[in-house]
Each structure stands twice: as C-alpha cells, then as structure tokens.
Chain A
Amino acid sequence: MNEVKIKSNNLNVFYGDKQALFDVNLDLNEKEVTALIGPSGCGKSTFIRCINRMNDVIDICKVTGNIEIDGVEINDENLDVVSLRERVGMVFQKPNPFPKSIYDNISYGPKIHGKGETKSELDEIVERSLKKAALWEEVKDRLDEPGTGLSGGQQQRLCIARAISVNPEVILMDEPCSALDPIATAKIEELIDELKKTYTIVIVTHSMAQAVRVSQKTGFFHLGKLIEVGKTEKIFKNPDNKMTQDYITGRFG
C-alpha cells in the first residue's frame, strides 16, 4: 500500500442552496489510480474539482471541510491557487485544446510558470510531455499545426500532455474517455497505466469496466455521499454495501 497523498475530511460542497457533497472522507494514495464511480449527478466531478480548487471559478459554489495534500490544507483562503494547480493538473470530459498550435498548447503552462526560459528548454519540455502522453510519434512533424485539427483521441492525449507539461504531482481526470471511441479509449487507458508510475491519478468514470482495468482503488458515490471505498478488486467482487452491489451489477444508475 502506497502512502496517502490526498486526504479529504468532512468535505461539503454547496451550489447555491443545493448541497452537492455530504461529509466526504476519502484518502487517495500516491502513485496509484483511484477511480470514482456512481450515477450521474452524484458528486464525483464536484469532488475532484475540489482537489485543484476549480470550483472557485463557479460563483455560487461554496466548499466547507478540509482537503490536505501531503498534509497541507488546500481549502484555505490564503492558499496560492496558481501553485496548487501547478501541482494538481486536470483533464476534462471533452477534449479542450486551445485554438493554438500543438506546440503552443504544450508550452503554454511552462511559459506561465516561468519554466523553460530558452527555446531549447521549451522544446525539450514539449517533446518530453508529448512522449509521455504517447502522442509524439504522431505529431512530431506538425507541431505548428492547430491542436484543434487533431482527432478526438489525439486531442485528449494533447490535453493530457498539456497537464503533464507543468510537471504536476496529481492528475485529475474527469471522464476523460466519454467522448472517445474504443480504440482511443484503449490508448488513453494504456497511458494511464504508464502515468501512474510517476503521478497520483484520480479518474471519474461511468464505465465500470474501465474502473476495473485502470484503477487500484475505487470509490462509489451516490447522491453526494461516498457510499463505499476500497480496493478495486474488492469493490467489484465483494462489496460491503448493498447499494454498491446494485450499482455495479447494473440494477440502478
């Protein structure tokens, strides 16, 4: 068992008057893939958006409770969100490359954080990130073409490369394969397997099979509550909770 990287403690999230998360206590281990499953609207995405404070963007969203990364409280007004997000990258449901060249898509993050001051350093970061995202071979000859011209699967790997480019410790993935075909999905899953050697990964998914394939730990959410969490094998073979059982066997959801 790896060490705990992220620890949430009595996490509550409100959108206006509506409460989206109820007292979530969840530990995520370092260099491991944690899958979050559950029916739509159950709070999985809301939870991972708390980890890099993306919920700040939404005006009416209010977060109470604690989240610690490496023992440091991040749900703190005085915390520097920029450096938090440098450490915690995110990949979204729909590929969202910037309408810039492939090269600029990757170099965007490092430039903002003042990494890669010379052109050759930047080139190196771009190459390394694209290689890690298993995209280098496909795009190395057309780095100046727009990122929006790639196929859906390539775009999503570009977004993963963009997240990697600032060298984060944690990567959050919000249903990264839901807009992709099975072949592109298989590639991304392979990639996730590779990435977990370096990064702590949290993935939200609607595909039970995907959760089984990629994750070591699984949490099941329902109506804003964390119902059950444990080793992926255990959750899918022998869950403690009846609701988890019903969900993974497809009886509701």
Chain B
Amino acid sequence: MNFVLIFLIVIFSSSLFFYGKSKTKSISIQRNIKLNALPKFYGYYLVLWSSIPALVFLLVWSLFEPVIIKSIIIETAANQGAIFNDKNEANLIYEKIKAIHLGTYFGDIDTILKESAISYSKFLNIFTNSKIVLIFVTIIASVIFSLKKIRNNNKAREDVEKILKGLLFVSSLIAILTTLGIIFSLLFESIKFFSVINIFDYLFGTNWSPQRAFVSDASAITTAEYEELKDAFGFVPLIAGTSFIAFIAMFVAVPIGLFSGIYMAEYASSRVRKISKPIIEILAGIPTVVYGFFAALTVGPFFRQIGESIGLTVSSESALAAGLIMGIMIIPYISSLSDDVINSVPQSLRDGSYAVGATKSETIKQVVIPAALPGIIGSVLLAVSRAIGETMIVVMAAGLAANLTINPLESTTTITTQIVMILVGDQEFDSPKTQSAFALGLTLFVATLILNYIAQRAVKKYREKYD
C-alpha cells in the first residue's frame, strides 16, 4: 500500500516538472516579463514542493499509525472487560486480535476478542482511508501554494537551493543522531554494568570468564559474591589478545601492502597495474567467514603439524594463524589506498628529485613517501581498525579461551569474539554477564577513538604539505 502511494507521489510530482517548465515559459511570454530563473528551476521547484511534504506526511503517519491503533484497541478491549495485569499481557492480547483479523489465529475466540478484532479491522480501514485523503489534501495544498509562487515569478533558483540545502542538512543530521543514539545506548547499558562491577576491577582484572558469573539477584550482591564476580570480568586478557592478534596482522599486512602499493604506483607498467590491481582488490571482497574457515581448517592445522614435527606444542587454534590470515585479509586495504595516495603525489616533485641526480628508490624513499605519508598512515589506520574490529576469523581460528599470553602458538581471544560469545543464545538482560558485552563495546569504541585521535595528531605534526 505504502509503496504504491510513494510510487504515485513520485510519478505525479516528476510529471509536474514539465508542467512547471512550460507554464513559466508561457507566463513569461504572456506577460512579457523576464523570469527570475531558468524555466527548469520552476520545474524543480514544483517537483520538490509537491513531493516532499506528502512523503514526510506519509513517513510520520506510518510511524504513528500502529501505535495509535494499538492504544485504541487495547483501551476498547479493556472497556469491554478484557483482563490483563501488565504490559506484556496487553501486548499478547493485541497480537491475538491482529492474528484473528489476519485469519491466522487458531485458539479459542471469545466474544471480547471477536468484537475487538472487528473494531480493529474497522479502525484499520478508517486510518488507511484517511491517510489517502490527507495525502491528497497535502499534495493539493502544496501544489496550489507552489503554483501561486510560480505565477508571481518567485526566485525559483534560490528557493530550490534552499530546499536542497535543507535536505542535505537533514541527511547529515540523521547520520549524526544515529551515531549519538548508538553511543548513548552503549553508555547506558555500560553504566548498569559498572554499577555492579567496579570499573577499576574491570579495567585491571587479569581474568576473564563471564560464564562463571551466575548471580541470583543482580540488585543485591553480597560482598562474597562480588569477590567471585569481579574475578570473572577482567579486561586485561581481552585487550592483550586483541592487540596481539592485531599486531601480528599488521606485521604481515603493512610491509606487504605498502611495498606492493609502491610497486603498483611507481614501478609497474600500466598494463601490469591494470591486471594486478583488481586481483589484489578481490582479496578485499572475500567474506571474512571464508578467511575464517581457511584459517581454522587449513592454516591452523598446518602450523600444528609443523610445530609437532619440530617438537613444539601448537594449539590448533592459535593467535598466529588468526593474525596471519587477518593480515592477508587486510593487505588490499593498505596496498590499494597507498597506491592511490602515492599516485596523487605530483610528478613535478619526482622530476625535481631526479634532476639533482637521485635514483628512483632514493626519490621514493625521501620525497614520494614523505609527501604521501598522511595518506599512508590513514590507510594503515583503517587497516588497524579493521583488524581490531574483525570478529569472524578470530572466532574460528584463535579460540575462545581468554589466555593472558604472548606465545603466538597458544589460543587467545579478542574483545569482539567475547561480545559474540556473550550475546549468542538466550540472555537475561539484567545479568552482569550480558551487560558486560556493552561495556566491552564501549571500551572498544573508546580505544579506537583514542587511537584515531593520536594518529591524526601524528599526521598533522609530520605531514609534508605539497600544492
């Protein structure tokens, strides 16, 4: 229904473009006046005015319609004698009524439910009809308004600019507000967690085992219970595991990615470049879960075999396997981005360097790379945040045990992996175990933020600006 309406609105208002264009042309001829803008701007003006108010109206209506109908139905049901003690029961009854209306309910139907279902379909009809009528009214009103403006030869160019500016502003507002919303939801859940677990016990604890954290009543925790609890939520092994795996990944990805980027930009002939660049970029398109089982089923056991043959105990889930595969996954980010930045360094700088007798590698090392450094650091940063945020490979290849170790051959775990483990399956939302996932999310977010900030400062300080 709504899609049909949107489609009709869009079709109608687009057709107004031509009307507005020809109308203003004829106006200018009839009254022998100079238009304030090209005729097409009057067309755009009509299109925008006839579509935006109606679409906004439709959106707002669709958001509120179910809520209003629901409250009306529940209230009438209550008046007719339906009994429910809390919100959940009310919801249940409402769902039953909806199911009866759709004909998918197969339980007992008493008179109250039956009556309610009839009134539900009645209300639904009324609302749909009035929605259509009101949209018509909106469109007609806005079209009349804008037609009047056009007849008076308004400054359509400026008005269109203003409307577009408004649209762009609203889009960026939505982006910012969503981000803020996510941050706040993280924050509130984390505050609940930290009201149970002391933040310092969390940040500096060296033992992570949330599966032990069974609490009978989260609102009243005894001191003895707390001693037990705080031992379950120690953040240190997770951040250690995360940084360790990310470090291994960067150790693989930065040199290979950067060098291949330099080769692509400076040495490869355009033919080689045309073929090999897409091939490298394919690496970025492989789903991480595929990398994950490659790491878990091929690379992990391979390391294990090698380890056994030289007498080392290697866990088949190891930080090394996960980090290595993650590094390979990240290579295209670094190589492709640094290739682009190196290419954008002006040729005149290279010429200047060659002209004093520098060789190609000297030029690259001392002129091109420094000039491209901000971009290269940017690409490395992007790669680091990919490495820190990567989940699937670690889940599959590095294990789940939160070992505090620097032995790359042992299994280890990361923040994201633990978030997955905590939130998979049935959860009680008031237990510290579940809430700890939000605390982890928040910590990860803050850590990445700090990392970005430091890197940006570094880039600003060391950037060599060229024009």
State in angstroms the CA–CA spacing of A57 and B352 once bound together: 12
Contact with B along A110-124 (1 / 0, CB 8 A): 001100000000000
Which of B269, B362, B465 contacts A99, CB < 8 Å? B465
Contact with A along B430-467 (1 / 0, CB 8 A): 00000000000000000000000000000000001111
Contact with A along B223-259 (1 / 0, CB 8 A): 0000000000000000000000000000000000000
Inter-chain contacts of A165 with B (CB < 8 A)? 356
A100-B355 contact in complex given A57-B350, A108-B366, A112-B362, C-beta closer than 8 Å: no
Contact with B along A72-92 (1 / 0, CB 8 A): 000000000111111001101
Contact with B along A196-226 (1 / 0, CB 8 A): 0000000000000000000000000000000
Contact with B along A136-163 (1 / 0, CB 8 A): 0000000000101000000000010011
Q: What are 6 A-B interface contacts by the 8 Å CB criterion? A: A57-B351, A99-B371, A148-B466, A159-B352, A163-B355, A165-B356
**Interfacial residues, chain B to chain A (CB-CB below 8 A):** 269, 346, 348-359, 362, 366-367, 370-371, 464-467
Inter-chain contacts of B466 with A (CB < 8 A)? 99, 148
Besides A90-B355, A96-B346, A100-B464, 20 new A-B residue pairs in contact (Cβ under 8 A), listed by A number? A54-B355, A57-B350, A82-B359, A85-B354, A85-B355, A96-B352, A98-B353, A98-B367, A98-B464, A99-B464, A108-B356, A108-B366, A109-B357, A109-B358, A112-B358, A113-B357, A148-B465, A148-B467, A165-B356, A166-B357
A94 at interface (Cβ–Cβ under 8 A)? yes
Inter-chain contacts of B349 with A (CB < 8 A)? 96, 98-99
> Which B residue's beta carbon lies closest to that of A104?
B366
> Which A residue's beta carbon lies closest to that of B463?
A99
> Which A residue's beta carbon lies closest to that of B363?
A112
Inter-chain contacts of A84 with B (CB < 8 A)? 357
Inter-chain contacts of A162 with B (CB < 8 A)? 352, 356
Main SS of the interface on chain B?
A: helix
**Interfacial residues, chain A to chain B (CB-CB below 8 A):** 52, 54, 57, 59, 81-86, 89-90, 92, 94, 96-100, 108-109, 112-113, 146, 148, 159, 162-163, 165-166
Check B355 against A52 for contact (C-beta < 8 Å). Answer: yes
Check B356 against A92 for contact (C-beta < 8 Å). Answer: no
A92-B348 contact in complex given A59-B269, A100-B370, A148-B465, C-beta closer than 8 Å: yes
State in angstroms the CA–CA spacing of A108 and B467 once bound together: 19
Inter-chain contacts of A146 with B (CB < 8 A)? 464-465
Inter-chain contacts of A90 with B (CB < 8 A)? 351, 355
The smallest beta-carbon distance between A83 and chain B, in angstroms, is 7
> Which B residue's beta carbon lies closest to that of A101?
B464
> Which A residue's beta carbon lies closest to that of B371?
A99
> Which B residue's beta carbon lies closest to that of A94?
B348
State in angstroms the CA–CA spacing of A57 and B348 once bound together: 12
Check A98 against B352 for contact (C-beta < 8 Å). Answer: yes
Q: Which of B269, B359, B465, B466 has the most CB of A within 10 A?
A: B466
